[in-house]
Chains A and B, each alone.
Chain A
């Protein structure tokens, strides 16, 4: 599911992530038996729903009547006591898309489901990409099953739910290693500078992915920290440094600062580390960064095909690189910026 989450959610995130925190409480908080759920009870009794999809999904978005019928049918399927029928309903609603399809899924999820159906419901919510799902997902971050908590955190990350950062930080202290790692993954997507301290602690306590998350969301302070640590712990720091260096929307100065700090050690290990970073950079990495890394490592700057050769940094650039302001202040508001 993580792969699905990772790819699918990123595209839609920008369009609504800013609004997540401001959403009014969703109608799905209504108790079971609310009109939303019972609206279709006349057309298909809840006790004997059909396994077959209710109606073909509307081929055209303009076919509102057909879509409404499909929505009703799928919503009705969620009232079944047959897990297969419920799962079919989730699938249908996920295909239908939109907030009105997400709401029945959320309502059913919040009423409680057997573990295997929670998985299906979360898949549907990720596909639907509706911010209205965030409160339900937050609730699931305290579910007794760690698998559910892990899925909920992944879903929050995939939905780019910035308002979930606090819950994600809370989950970073979860008793389950899988949940902690999911929390770190999600923080790498929606976290900001406030998460840095906790991520660093988590890394020191062995939480996988915490350092990469730190590299993904960290500011100048984290850049210096990673650069400093890489002087002696290159292998451990390389993934995080690469994550930082390859952030496409991050100020170059931040990246240069990390390189400068690493290079300032002037040891064979730091040189080796810089070379490792250079070879680890993606092909489409910033040519200037590539050049700076190569210079710092004492290697010939590689020419990126089709790219203009970057301006050579001034002599001693890595060490003397100007201290850039942090990309994101440590106290940045939750709504500032969106990380891909």
Chain B
């Protein structure tokens, strides 16, 4: 009986298991999805240039490998084109349009709702991201399959640049979210929120899928497990660049209009294929700035090369073969990673915006050998110099950047270059500012600094003054005590810009130029009544500081006057008061006092200053020899003055014939005495012509 019951039970169970049965659909787990998207489908693409011509606007496609135009068609474009799979995607007046890459014919029109944000594709499948429709934050992803739309998904949040991986689409949205959609029907397979990372881009590069915004992180099978942590991604080293183009474009921003400057001010780089940590192809970060192209190191803040082209560069692409550039005249160039032009190709159409998709097979045969191309390249120094000296008004920031990079070199010869660039007053301010600020920081090239300081601006002679302020700063950094008398000459020249005076006085202080005390005192005395808004205020403060640092006891009456003069600014009065305390205080150390004592005779040991250093000019020895017969008379003038100045400074204009044309004595109370004495002498004739000469007459030491 028991056996019978067992047999019945077994039969009953077997019968129920033998009924027809269908399992419910099961979504793949997160692990499965993550593993799947970490290996995107391989792509086989055609190397092309697609661009928009200048008016009348036409969309034009060129085959790089075949070196021929594929097609062109008139369009009313609102954006630059994108190339995705076998298609060209363009925002046109009627909406976002997907065209066939081979023929240019329209495959799909996606309508006028929203702007083109991104497009990615594999073969005939094209994933188009649109967004920022008027008045909404809505974003849409659409998968186009051949000539039809397979599916469309719309979100109420902004959608970033989506990527097509084959069976899946990666859609970043709302800055931190990533959805994986099934390519078959657009169903959302999974959604991850990356709380530690900004997401705006999904890309397929170098055989892998990447996500990110400021950096790109490789999508790995465990990507979803890291979503709560900041993802460590790759991007070329960030650094200040002219116009600050983004190293990675904002994945939520629409593609710029055809005439946007974005197409001429951009950086380009590409991930390199291969194992190991992500890195930039050729370690190259390309900055294009109108017709200036910088080849930067992606891993360090350095310039590898600079090229100045005849025309603006409107598209660039780094590829294993090198760097592709397309200019607005319709020329495509292939450069090797060192910047040498290896090949070029005339597209025959002037372009306002373009995109290059270069593949290994698209590299044309090089017209130059690698050796000859590199030999044609000038040195980096010359390249940077040519860029810095460009006269194209649009390149101002690029020029300034070239100057910055030029100045990174510790080579003493760079100082002369910076002096020249800083002194070009007709140049735009950012360019000069870059040169001047870096000149002020130089600590090599003292002979160039001295030579520049010897120059003097003259209206009658048509000569420009040197950039005194930065030169003074450089001289101070270099500890150039020989520059002291030259700086004094500029301090007394009304042509020296007010903005330079503060630096000049600070340099005199730093160089411990005690011979500058009369000049500083006179400047302070004459100008301390300037209003608070005066551009001289920094210089006045610097003069007070210098007088204090130099312990200028002879300037005490003036400082006392300034300290109590309510017609001057309160700040200056306070500073003068402090300076008086410093002067009256005992020296901080014997060493400092000894230094001051050493500095004084050193400054006075070089009484003559030759302003013009050219050959056949009056030099120090000639001036000294010429003045020797009247030296005693000049000294008597100084000692006979009731104010008992320590020295007098004579600035003369000496004609080529050797006669003194103009003469100014400081202190001016000595003019009446010194001028007749100097008028009695005649300098030797020079071939140079008119010269400005400064001469210091020192009062002889009082007999003990």
Contact = CB atoms under 8 A, between A and B. Distances in A.
Given A115-B530, A135-B669, A194-B659, A32 B561 contact: yes
A27 B462 CA distance: 40
6 contacts: A115-B531, A135-B669, A140-B526, A144-B523, A169-B663, A205-B459
Contacts of A198: 460, 653, 661-662
A123 to B, nearest CB: 17
Contacts of A113: 529, 567
B460 A172 contact: yes
Interface stretch (B111-119, B401-409, B490-498, B502-510): B490-498
A197 B690 CA distance: 11
Interface in B616-658: 641-643, 651, 653, 655
Contacts, number: 149
Interface string B662-682: 111011111110011001000
B459 A180 contact: yes
Most buried by A among B459, B562, B651, B675: B459
B662 A83 contact: no
Interface string A174-191: 111001100000000000
A33 B527 contact: no
Given A167-B662, A174-B459, A23 B494 contact: no
B675 A176 contact: no
Interchain residue pairs A-B with the least CB separation, the first 8: A166-B663, A169-B662, A31-B557, A81-B566, A170-B662, A175-B495, A138-B668, A114-B529
Nearest to B673: A25
Contacts of A139: 522, 526, 666-668
A207 to B, nearest CB: 8
Most buried by A among B528, B561, B567: B567
A169 B661 contact: yes
Contacts of B642: 25, 27, 29-30
B671 to A, nearest CB: 6
A117 interface: yes
Most buried by B among A29, A168, A173: A173
A25 B525 contact: no
B379 interface: no
Contact of B669 (A25, A112, A143): A25
Contacts of B666: 139, 142
Nearest to A34: B557
Nearest to A198: B661
User: At the interface, is chain B mostly helix, strand, loop or mixed?
Assistant: mixed
A135 B673 CA distance: 11
B185 interface: no
A25 B643 contact: yes
B560 interface: yes
Given A167-B663, A169-B662, A149 B494 contact: yes
A7 interface: no
B525 A170 contact: no
Interface string A142-160: 1110100100000000000
Given A143-B494, A144-B494, A32 B662 contact: no
Nearest to B495: A175
A163 B643 contact: no
Interface in B511-534: 522-531
Nearest to A136: B668
B567 A201 contact: no
B676 to A, nearest CB: 7
B530 A170 contact: no
Contacts of A141: 664
A276 interface: no
Nearest to A173: B460
B84 interface: no
Contacts of B653: 169-170, 173, 198
Contact of B664 (A32, A166, A202): A166
Contacts of A140: 526
A143 B526 contact: yes
B672 A202 contact: no
A51 B460 CA distance: 47
Contact of A194 (B522, B525, B531, B661): B661
Contacts of B372: none
A33 B560 contact: yes
A219 B661 CA distance: 17
Contacts of B526: 110, 112, 139-140, 143-144
A32 B558 contact: yes
A135 B557 CA distance: 20
Interface string A198-209: 100110010000
Given A112-B562, A169-B663, 10 more contacts: A29-B669, A31-B557, A31-B558, A112-B565, A142-B666, A167-B671, A170-B663, A173-B460, A175-B494, A176-B494
Contacts of B320: none
A128 to B, nearest CB: 18
B660 interface: yes
A135 B460 contact: no
Interface of B: 457-462, 492, 494-495, 498, 522-531, 536, 557-558, 560-562, 565-567, 641-643, 651, 653, 655, 659-664, 666-672, 675-676, 679
Interface string A23-50: 1011101111100000000000000000
A248 B306 CA distance: 70
Nearest to B561: A32
A340 interface: no
B560 to A, nearest CB: 7
A111 interface: yes
Contacts of B561: 31-33, 111-112
A172 B662 contact: yes
Contact of A112 (B525, B661, B668): B525
Given A29-B642, A174-B459, A146 B494 contact: yes
Contacts of A29: 641-643, 667, 669
A179 B653 CA distance: 17
Contact of A142 (B492, B528, B672): B492
B662 A166 contact: yes
Given A25-B641, A202-B460, A174 B495 contact: yes
A31 B560 CA distance: 10
Contacts of A300: none
B671 A138 contact: yes
Nearest to A20: B672
Contacts of B530: 114-115
A260 to B, nearest CB: 28
A167 B459 contact: no
Contact of B459 (A83, A136, A175): A175
Contact of A201 (B460, B495, B525, B675): B460
A170 B668 CA distance: 13
Contacts of B494: 142-144, 146, 149, 174-176, 179
Contacts of B461: 173
A168 B675 CA distance: 13
A174 B460 CA distance: 9
Nearest to B659: A194
A169 B659 CA distance: 13
A310 interface: no
A65 interface: no
A167 B565 contact: no
A173 B531 contact: no
A198 B656 CA distance: 12
Contacts of A205: 459-460, 462
Most buried by A among B523, B655, B664: B664
A59 interface: no
Contacts of A112: 524-529, 561-562, 565
Most buried by B among A112, A172, A176, A180: A112
A114 B533 CA distance: 12
B495 A138 contact: no
Nearest to B529: A114
Most buried by B among A30, A114, A166: A166
A52 interface: no
A22 interface: yes
